[in-house]
């Protein structure tokens, strides 16, 4: 399904991006944010981590870059991070960092076949 959505969005917004690579980075960032948002309740309740898989799982370079940028934002801005202020990845920077760490550990568990 994600591949279909990605292809559909690329066909609609191709002219807004300088390259397919740039679009894929933006798409992967969106999928990572969806995954982190979906996982907030299980992180808050200290339940077993599970979230939405996506293309970020196999596009390693994008994933590493996105995770690094999010970690830097959370460490630098703390609770003032837009991702925290919006509640998107957690209600505190500490919770957001925990969510991100758990996603990093979760990704290798993806099974694509």
Q: Taking the model in full, what pTM does it have?
A: 0.91
Condensed to tens digits (0 to 9), the pLDDT of residues 67-88 reads 999 999 999 999 999 999 999 9
Nearest to 109 by CA among 70, 36, 57: 57
Condensed to tens digits (0 to 9), the pLDDT of residues 24-73 reads 999 999 999 999 999 999 999 999 999 999 999 999 999 999 999 999 99
| Domain edges within the chain | 26-109
| E strand or H helix that includes residue 64 | helix 60-77
Buried b (16+ CB within 10 A) or exposed e, 5-15: ebeeeeeeeee
pLDDT of 112 strictly over 70: no
Residues in the chain: 113
């Amino acid at each position: 399904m994600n591949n279909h959505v990605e292809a559909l969005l690329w066909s609609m917004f191709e002219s807004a991006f300088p390259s397919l690579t740039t679009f894929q980075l933006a798409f992967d960032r969106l999928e990572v944010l969806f995954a982190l948002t979906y996982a907030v309740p299980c992180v808050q309740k200290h339940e077993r981590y599970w979230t939405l898989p996506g293309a970020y799982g196999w596009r390693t370079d994008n994933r590493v870059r996105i995770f690094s940028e999010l970690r830097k934002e959370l460490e630098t801005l703390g609770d003032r991070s837009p991702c925290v202020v919006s509640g998107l990845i957690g209600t505190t920077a500490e919770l957001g960092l925990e969510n991100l760490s758990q996603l990093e550990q979760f990704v290798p568990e993806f099974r694509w076949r």
